[in-house]
Amino acid sequence: MEGKYQPDRIEQKWQRLWEKNKSFQATEASPLPKYYLLEMFPYPSGKIHMGHVRNYSIGDVIARYKRMRGYNVLHPMGWDAFGLPAENAAIERGIHPAKWILENVTNMRQQLKRMGFSYDWAREFATCDEAYYRWEQLFFIKMFKRGLAYKKLSTVNWCDKCQTVLANEQVEGGHCWRCEQEVGVREINQWFFRITAYAEELLQECDRLPGWPERVLTMQRNWIGKSFGAEIQFPFVDREGKLTVFTTRQDTIYGATFASLAVEHPLALELSQGTSQETRVREFVERIKKINQARRGTDELEKEGLFTGSYCINPFTQEKIPIYLANFVLMEYGTGVVMGVPAHDQRDFEFARKYGLPIRVVIQPDGKMLDGERMTEAYLDEGVMASSGPFTGLPSEAGRGKVVAYLEEKGWGKQSISYRLRDWGISRQRYWGTPIPILYCDSCGSVPVPEEELPVVLPKNVELTGEGSSPLARLPEFFKAKCPKCGGPARRDTDTMDTFVESSWYFARYASPDEDRAPFDKPRVDYWLPVDQYVGGIEHAVLHLLYARFFTKALRDMGWLELSEPFTNLLTQGMVIKDGAKMSKSKGNVVDPDFLIERYGADTSRLFSLFAAPPEKDLDWSDQGVEGANRFLNRLWRFVFQHRDALLHSTSDPSKTELPPELKELRRQIHRTIKKVTDDIEGRYHFNTAIASVMELYNALSLVARDELVQEEAGALVKNGLETIVVLLYPFVPHMASELWENLGHQEGLERVRWPEYSAEALQEEELLIVVQVDGRVRGRITVPADAGEKFIEEMALADPKVGDFIRGKDIRRVVQVPRRLVNIVLGS
């Protein structure tokens, strides 16, 4: 393989060899410590994009590095194959989603192999495999039996034209992302996973994930949204019962001058019955309900409400206050009822102004007296409780605790905690997904499919038109069934599960993908889990990563897993940007990895995506940057072949020889580079600086080689340096490194070579360069023996002629020394 660097030839050569030797197949029978590395699996949408190249290059560096460090590494790959895009593509092209997915998988698998990623392909699976989703159906049934899966009527985004529920992400500006029809709302029966049952644990364990980026943890904490407050009961006037509100500001209770309900609240209509407001309330509820939730949030919707005709009593003031309906009150949060405190809540303030309700100041800020009549906006901050009966004069923060204690004593309410997190709606009125294994019987209700009858196979013989309901609902041989309980006629659920369900447990399946009697082979799953390092895009910071955490806990409680958290360490890589925007087809700024590989090879593509930016930052695409990466590999290639003969013949041990100073420095740099690259990979995944330091070593080496290769000891050292470069580069550019390694006379493949250790002895410096500052400005540099004492260094510094110019005739107030680095001479004023 001499002569020109031809990536195509060498890359395929090594890829074939690795495949033949099964170099990356993981086994559980190993004395080495295990290391499970996982990158988020791709959606097989056609071909890989630069985001994949980046994601999987990052992962592959870690995988190969960890193997060299003596770990038993599991590094699997699979396909997130169910979901809307496949179904839509199938409708557009008139081919079955299964076929489309299979073609894409075949193509993308080939592309990933062409990149030289070190996956254990023996563990590959797709989530649309019956052998995979059958276990998901089992989980569903177990969750149903535990009350973790339940069905309820709920309000969803609904597209009339597509006849399906749309997730919030699929609603763009109030319109369907597919057909641009205005999205409406609909109440339908849907299955939910009770993720809220784990809200507290999910929140608590955020504190026990030190290997996760703070940013992601913050997003998860915010998403869960725990609030401390109180539930307070307001007895009705003229009727039985009480209205329960949730508030975090019970210290403002004396300022509550009205109450407001969400229009979805069960009492909304009831409260107006028999009052003069009855008709108007009915109209109002109908009208507000029609505005879909996405729109209700995004638009700056004006506060609007309507009096129900009923009153309740503020238990603290004993005052009769009106009950309103309000368009800004959410049924999903708290109790769906809010106490209106206009002086201390901006929404209530606007509402009160509009409907002429009293604004009563009950929190006074320091050094000011607010007046409800003259306020222009609500006062939200802390202060001192005012006009608040026995609580008057208390700081508002302390007041909250006192009010709760009082509430509980009087039996008017209790301390309460509310979460923003809502249960996970998983029903999709779509074909391409895991069928929900439930039957409906007129006399027995919702009945799970008996476990021994699983899987409920997704039928293939369907016609996809994109019109009307799911094809499953039009397939009697699918939905017609017998009730397992009473034997009577039953109807199968024709919805499928959200695809996020599949990705919530796939990482566990890789441990034993061949297990066909259970979802997991316990010994193997216990051996491999948790994932030691997970790598993926920041866009999954909440959804996927939260669902996967939830699922792990649920599977633990059902006895399948032993662990509580699936991913010990998380690395979220940034996006690939070109011309100031994320690469996307719609923006027309994509770079096709195929083109890159064809033109420069896999190693260059990998090297560029790793060198251009640290992993967690966005990567700015640059054609010249790719050229630069390619040039470096070419230089290295040429260097090796230019000097190969000389190098092969230099046999002396560079560590044994007494070297001249400049070669000693080179040796030091070799070991410094080993340390730097190791620290950069190990400690912080800064591959860009790791690569930079290897480049520096190469530069130093080529400088020495130019002048001194003739000498025997220099030759040995250059060879040692070059081999170090090749080994250090292996995780980044495995093909090139392997090829050079072989050409340097090594029989054993690099995938079996151990990572080099640096020698502390070699790092020892005999002389140190000390920077001399005067009043914090660099004025000179001195070279001193490494073991020089402070006093000696100070004398040398003061004696330096350049320094002398600045201190002559001045008072020296003090001299500060930083060992081994710097002296700062501080002059008197």
Within 242-281, the residues that bind RNA by CB under 7 A are 246-249, 262
Rounded to whole angstroms, how far apart are CA atoms 611 and 655? 31
Rounded to whole angstroms, how far apart are CA atoms 517 and 69? 35
Rounded to whole angstroms, how far apart are CA atoms 630 and 250? 65
Among 632, 685, 732, 741, binds RNA (CB under 7 A): 632
Among 13, 544, 635, 672, binds RNA (CB under 7 A): 635
Among 21, 106, 189, 218, binds RNA (CB under 7 A): 218
Nearest by Cα to 509 from 138, 779, 181, 229: 138
Residues numbered 776-795 forming contacts with RNA, rule: CB under 7 A? 776, 778, 781
In the complex, least distance from residue 656 CB atom to RNA, rounded to whole angstroms: 29
In the complex, least distance from residue 545 CB atom to RNA, rounded to whole angstroms: 12
Q: What is the DSSP letter of 94?
A: T
- Among the residue ranges 152-160, 271-279, 293-301, 751-759, the one whose residues contact RNA (CB under 7 A): 293-301
- Among the residue ranges 26-34, 85-93, 401-409, 814-822, the one whose residues contact RNA (CB under 7 A): 814-822
- Among the residue ranges 43-51, 587-595, 768-776, 782-790, the one whose residues contact RNA (CB under 7 A): 768-776
Q: Of 175 and 295, which CB lies nearer to RNA in the complex structure?
A: 295
Nearest by Cα to 54 from 598, 591, 586: 591
Q: Of 292 and 429, which CB lies nearer to RNA in the complex structure?
A: 292
- Among the residue ranges 145-153, 180-188, 191-199, 774-782, the one whose residues contact RNA (CB under 7 A): 774-782
Residues numbered 367-386 forming contacts with RNA, rule: CB under 7 A? none
- Among the residue ranges 179-187, 314-322, 615-623, 794-802, the one whose residues contact RNA (CB under 7 A): 615-623
Size of the site for RNA (CB under 7 A): 83
Rounded to whole angstroms, how far apart are CA atoms 515 and 38? 20
Q: What is the DSSP letter of 182?
A: B
Residues numbered 517-546 forming contacts with RNA, rule: CB under 7 A? 538-539, 541-542
Q: Based on the shown chain and the rule CB under 7 A, indicate whether residue 345 belongs to the binding site for RNA.
A: yes
Q: Of 1 and 543, which CB lies nearer to RNA in the complex structure?
A: 543
Q: What is the DSSP letter of 755?
A: P
Q: Based on the shown chain and the rule CB under 7 A, indicate whether residue 816 belongs to the binding site for RNA.
A: yes
Give residues with Cβ within 8 angstroms of 595, minimum separation 6.
none
Tell me the CB-side half-sphere exposure of residue 274, using CA atoms within 13 A: 5
Q: Based on the shown chain and the rule CB under 7 A, indicate whether residue 6 belongs to the binding site for RNA.
A: no
The kind and range of the H/E element at 439 are: strand 438-441
Which residues face 320 on adjacent strands? 313
Q: Of 398 and 816, which CB lies nearer to RNA in the complex structure?
A: 816
- Among the residue ranges 210-218, 312-320, 525-533, 738-746, the one whose residues contact RNA (CB under 7 A): 210-218
From residue 542 to residue 581, what is the string marking binding to RNA with x (rule CB under 7 A)? Answer: x---------------------------------------
Rounded to whole angstroms, how far apart are CA atoms 70 and 32? 7
In the complex, least distance from residue 690 CB atom to RNA, rounded to whole angstroms: 9
Q: Based on the shown chain and the rule CB under 7 A, indicate whether residue 614 belongs to the binding site for RNA.
A: yes
In the complex, least distance from residue 413 CB atom to RNA, rounded to whole angstroms: 12
Q: Of 184 and 489, which CB lies nearer to RNA in the complex structure?
A: 184
Answer whether 560's CB lies under 8 Å from 519's CB. yes
Among 129, 627, 712, 767, binds RNA (CB under 7 A): 627
Long-range contacts of 131-135 (CB under 8 A, 24+ apart): 131/516, 132/502, 132/506, 132/509, 133/82, 133/434, 133/455, 133/458, 133/502, 134/454, 134/455, 135/509, 135/518, 135/519
In the complex, least distance from residue 377 CB atom to RNA, rounded to whole angstroms: 11
Which residues face 424 on adjacent strands? 193
Residues numbered 399-428 forming contacts with RNA, rule: CB under 7 A? 418, 420
In the complex, least distance from residue 788 CB atom to RNA, rounded to whole angstroms: 16
Rounded to whole angstroms, how far apart are CA atoms 312 and 318? 9
Q: Tell me the torsion sign for CA atoms 681, 686, 691, 694.
A: negative
Long-range contacts of 372-379 (CB under 8 A, 24+ apart): 372/342, 372/343, 375/343, 375/349, 377/346, 377/349, 378/342, 378/343, 378/344, 378/345, 378/346, 378/348, 378/349, 379/343, 379/344
Q: Based on the shown chain and the rule CB under 7 A, indicate whether residue 702 belongs to the binding site for RNA.
A: yes
Q: Of 563 and 784, which CB lies nearer to RNA in the complex structure?
A: 784
Q: Based on the shown chain and the rule CB under 7 A, indicate whether residue 603 belongs to the binding site for RNA.
A: no
Nearest by Cα to 792 from 812, 809, 808, 768: 768
SS3 165: strand
Among 99, 215, 480, 752, binds RNA (CB under 7 A): 215
Q: Based on the shown chain and the rule CB under 7 A, indicate whether residue 126 belongs to the binding site for RNA.
A: no
